[in-house]
Amino acid sequence: MTKRIWTKPQPLPGFKDSRSPLPQRLGITPVVADILRQRGIEAEEEILEFLRPSLLNLNSPFAFREMAKAIERLEQARAQEEKILIYGDYDVDGVTSTALLYKVLTDLGFKAVAYIPSRMDEGYGLHKDAITKALQANVKVMITVDCGITAVEEVEYARSQGIDIILTDHHEPPDSLPQAYAILNPKVQDSGYPFRELAGVGVAFKLAQALLERLEEGKSGAYAVLEILDLAALGTIADLVPLTHENRTIVAYGLRQMENTIHLGLRTLLEECGLWGKPLKAGQIAFMVAPRINAAGRMDSARAGLELLLTGHEERAVELARFLSRENALRQDTEKEIFAEAVEILEKAPIPRVIVLSGKNWHHGVIGIVASRLVERYYRPVFLIAEEEEMGKGSARGIGGYHVLDELKAQAELLEKFGGHSQAAGFSLKLETIPLLREALNQAALHLPEEMFYERIRVDQCVPLEVLDASLLHDLEHLAPFGFGNPSPVLAGRDYPLYLADTVGKDHAHLKCMFGPQGEWEGIAFRKGEELANILGSATVDVAFGLDWNTFRGVQSIQLMIKDIQPQASWQEDHDRSLAGQEIALGEEEVAAGGPYPQEVEIMDWRSKNREEWSKTLESRGDSIAFWDFTGISPQEPDADHQAPWAVIIGVPPSWQRVADIIRQVRNSGGQGVILAESQIDPLVLKERTGYLAREDLVQMYRVLYDLAIKNNPFTWVAEEIPLWQAQAGLKIFEELNLFRCLRYSSDTIHIEWIPAQKKLDLEGALRFRGAKSRWEEAMAFKEEYCTMPWPEFKKRLGRY
C-alpha cells in the first residue's frame, strides 16, 4: 500500500488577522483568501485577476519573436493561393489545435487542408512520408501543431524540397532546434513569449489570434477569437497544463463559450455526454468530453474526432459522437485488462522503485492511461511498453520530484526515440533493450531519498466537521476552474466520527463512508475499496478530502470526495509553500536590532522643501546619493548594486511599510541616513496607481460605448480620448457587471461586444470597482498623513513598521 504523508501549510500572517480588510473588501471569505495566499496569490490585483480573469489580460501573440515572420509568410501564401497543410497530433490537444487553425484559416480565405497521423501506422510527430505526400499535393507551407520541435531531420528535408514549415509546439525543445521558417514555442529560449505553460492548442490559438488581428475580413475578426476559445479551452484542459495566468483566462472564457458553442460537432458531443444546456466545469470536460476525442486516437485514428469538430452536418455529427462513445467504452475495457495484468505481475514481488513493464498484447494507445493508474496505486514512476514485433512503444508517468523526460535523456543510448514533459513522456526502443532500461532506471533511482516515494497530500485548510456545508462549497467554487496547477482545494479533519464504512460499486472498487454522530456527512473514495480494512473498527478517522455536489432524486447535497482516510494520519509541515517562512528572518533581525532601524541611521525631514532647495543643499555636501522617486506611476529605484551613504525619497511612497523598508535597506548596506524630500504627488497619478475610476468617469465611458454599440455590435473602439489604462480598467468593471465583453485589443484599439442589461446594476457590486475605490481612499489618506503629519508623530508612526 502506498505510504502517504499529509502536508499542512505553515501559518501565514495577513488574511486570518481580523484587522485585515482585504477579504471583506474583495467580497471573499478568509478561507478563500488564505487558500489563495498559500498558492502564492497575495497582492490585491493578482487576486482580482485570478477571481475575475479578463480577455484584456491575454498576452499579445506578437510577443513571440517569430510571430510577425510567420504571419507575413501566411499572408504571402494567401495572396499567391498556395496550399497550406496543418499537421497535427492524435491527442485532444493536437486535434483541437488542428480544428481551431483549420476553421480560422478557411474562414479567412486560405487554401488549407488538415492532416493528423495515425498512432498505429505512423506514430507521433512529423514524418518524411507525410512531407513527401504533401509535396505531391503541391503544399507550399506546413504548420505543425502540438509537435515538431524535435523533428530536426524532417524539417530539413521539407526545407530542401521547398516547403516552409511554421512550427507551433509546446514540448521541451532539444539542444539543436529544427531550421524551420518560424518557430512558435514558449519553451524555446528567447522565444519572447512571457508565459511558458501554454498547451499546444494555446500556441495554435496565439497564431490564430495574430491572424485575426492582422486580417480582419469577413466576419468580425474580434468576434472570431471568442468563437474559438471553446476549442482552445478543451485542448488546454485535456493536456494537463497549469490552469494559471493565461491558461486560466482561456479556460474560464472558453467554458462560457462552450455552453453556447457555435461548433455543431462540439455541441453534439456535449449532448452525447449529457452536458448540453448545463453550466460546464473543467472536470466534466477532462473526464467526460476529452476522453471520447482521445479514444479515437488511442484505439485507431484521431481523424474521427477531427471530423466531428469540423462537420457542419447534424446527422454526421450524431453518428461521429456515438462512434467516439463506443471507442471510449472499448478503450476503458482495454485499459482494465492491461491494468489487471500489470497489477498481477507487480504483486508477485516487492514493488521496485521504478516500475518498468512490457506486454505483447498491450495496446500502445492505452498504456499511458494505465501508467497513470499505476502511479495512483503504487506512487512509483511508471514506464509501460507495448511490445510490437521487434520494437516497443512506451509511455512514462512520473511522481513529484521525478522528471521522466530527464531520466529518458540519461538513457538515450538505449532508446530509438523519446520526447515529452517532466511528468509524461513517450518513447520507443528495441525489445532486447527493455531489461537494460529497467535495470538502468532502477539503478539511477537508488540515490533518491526514500521520502520521494511517499505520496504527499497537500492540505489547504484544516476544518472541523460541523463547518462543512453548502455555504463553504459555494465559497470554494470562487477558485474554479480547477485543474492541474490549480487543484480543487483539499480540506482535512482530525478525529471525524466514523458512523459507517463499506465498499460499493462493481467489484467493490469504491469506499463509501458516513461521518458524524448520526452519519450526517457522506463521503466517497473512488478506487479505494481496499482501504476499508485499514479503518474498520476505528471510532474516529483523519480524512483528507475535497467538497463537491451530489444530486440524488433531484435533491442536492454536499459530498466529501475522499483523497485519503486513515485512523491517524502522518502530518508534516509544508516548507514548499510559496510564501511560507519568508518573513521569519526579517522578524528576528528586527527584534535583535531593537526596532525597524537603529538609531544611528539619520532621518531628515525635508518634506516641505522644494526641489531647488534640497538639491542645492545636497550638492554642497558632496555626498553620494541614491534616489527613490515616487512621483510617477511606477517607482524609480536605484540599481541593487548602487551603494550610497544617503538615500533621498522623492514624492509619496505607497505605504509606511515601503518607507521603513527603504530605511532598513540603507542601514543594512552601511548607509548614513535617509532624506524625505518634496512630498508631493499629482492625484491623477494616484488614480492610475490604484486603478481607480470615479463613478462619473465610468458613466461617461459607458455612454461613449453605448453610442457605438447601438450602431454596430460587436464594435471597435479606438480609445483616443482617455488613457489606455482607464479604458482597460473601465472595461474590466463593465465585464464583471456583464455589460460589455472585451473580445480582444491591440495597441489602443479594443474590440467589444455590448450585452444589454437585464436589470439596473450597482457599481458597488463589482469587485474591481470596490477594490479600486478602497485603494484610492487609502492612498489619499496615506498621502495626507505622509505630507502633513508633524515630525514627532511621523517618526513615532514610522517606528511601528
pLDDT at 12: 44
pLDDT at 656: 86
pLDDT at 597: 41
d(Cα 523, Cα 245) in Å, to the nearest integer? Answer: 32
Most confident range, picked from 570-579, 721-730, 750-759: 721-730
With a cut of 60, say whether residue 594 has pLDDT above it: no
Number of Cβ within 10 Å of residue 559's Cβ equals 20
pLDDT digits over 646-669, tens only? 888 888 888 888 888 888 888 877
Report the CATH number of the 349-456 domain: 3.10.310.30
Is the separation of the CB atoms in 558 and 470 below 8 Å?
A: yes
Q: How much is the mean pLDDT over the chain?
A: 86
3-state SS class at 34: helix
3-state SS class at 673: strand
d(Cα 653, Cα 649) in Å, to the nearest integer? Answer: 8
User: Which grid coordinates belong to 509?
Assistant: 472498487
Q: What is the mean pLDDT of residues 386-410?
A: 93
User: Which grid coordinates belong to 9?
Assistant: 501549510
pTM attached to this predicted model:
0.76
- Given the candidates 3.50.50.60, 2.40.50.460, 1.10.8.420, 2.40.100.10, the CATH classification of the domain at 4-52+459-574 is 2.40.50.460
pLDDT digits over 595-612, tens only? 444 446 788 888 887 777
Dihedral of the CA atoms 683, 684, 689, 691 (nearest 10)? 120
> 475 to each of 90, 238, 574, 650, 754, how far by Cα in Å?
38, 26, 24, 43, 29
d(Cα 611, Cα 650) in Å, to the nearest integer? Answer: 9
d(Cα 597, Cα 51) in Å, to the nearest integer? Answer: 38
pLDDT digits over 143-190, tens only? 999 999 999 999 999 999 999 999 999 998 988 999 999 999 999 999
With a cut of 80, say whether residue 586 has pLDDT above it: no
Pairing of strands 625-630, 602-606: unpaired
With a cut of 60, say whether residue 18 has pLDDT above it: no
Residue 601 carries which side chain, given as an amino acid letter?
V
pLDDT digits over 368-378, tens only? 999 999 999 99
pLDDT at 648: 87
Rg (alpha carbons) of the chain, rounded to whole number: 30
Average the pLDDT over each of 203-212, 266-275, 287-296, 757-766 and give the range with the smallest value. 757-766
User: Which grid coordinates belong to 558?
Assistant: 454536499
Q: What is the mean pLDDT of residues 563-575?
A: 79
| Omega cis (within 30) before 30 | no
With a cut of 80, say whether residue 429 has pLDDT above it: yes
Q: What is the mean pLDDT of residues 578-589?
A: 29
% of the chain surpassing 90 pLDDT: 50
Q: What is the mean pLDDT of residues 758-778?
A: 81
pLDDT digits over 185-240, tens only? 999 999 999 999 999 999 999 999 999 888 865 444 445 688 899 999 999 999 98
* pLDDT band with cut points at 50, 70 and 90 for residue 3: confident
> 121 to each of 45, 156, 300, how far by Cα in Å?
50, 23, 9
With a cut of 50, say whether residue 315 has pLDDT above it: yes
For the domain made up of 57-325, the CATH class stated in words is alpha beta
With a cut of 80, say whether residue 644 has pLDDT above it: no
* pLDDT band with cut points at 50, 70 and 90 for residue 592: very low
Distant-in-sequence, close-in-space partners of 667: CB < 8 Å, separation ≥ 6: 597, 598, 601
Average the pLDDT over each of 102-111, 609-618, 722-731 and give the range with the smallest value. 609-618
With a cut of 70, say whether residue 627 has pLDDT above it: yes
Long-range contacts of 552-556 (CB under 8 A, 24+ apart): none
User: Which grid coordinates belong to 531?
Assistant: 482501504
pLDDT at 573: 62
Please count the CA atoms within 13 angstroms of the CA of 688 that sit on its side-chain side.
15
* pLDDT band with cut points at 50, 70 and 90 for residue 747: low
d(Cα 492, Cα 543) in Å, to the nearest integer? Answer: 6
Q: What is the mean pLDDT of residues 68-88?
A: 96
Q: Which residues of 351-363 are buried (b: 16+ CB within 10 A; e: fewer)?
A: ebbbbbbbbeebb
3-state SS class at 258: helix
With a cut of 50, say whether residue 582 has pLDDT above it: no
Is the separation of the CB atoms in 338 and 366 below 8 Å?
A: yes
pLDDT at 519: 92
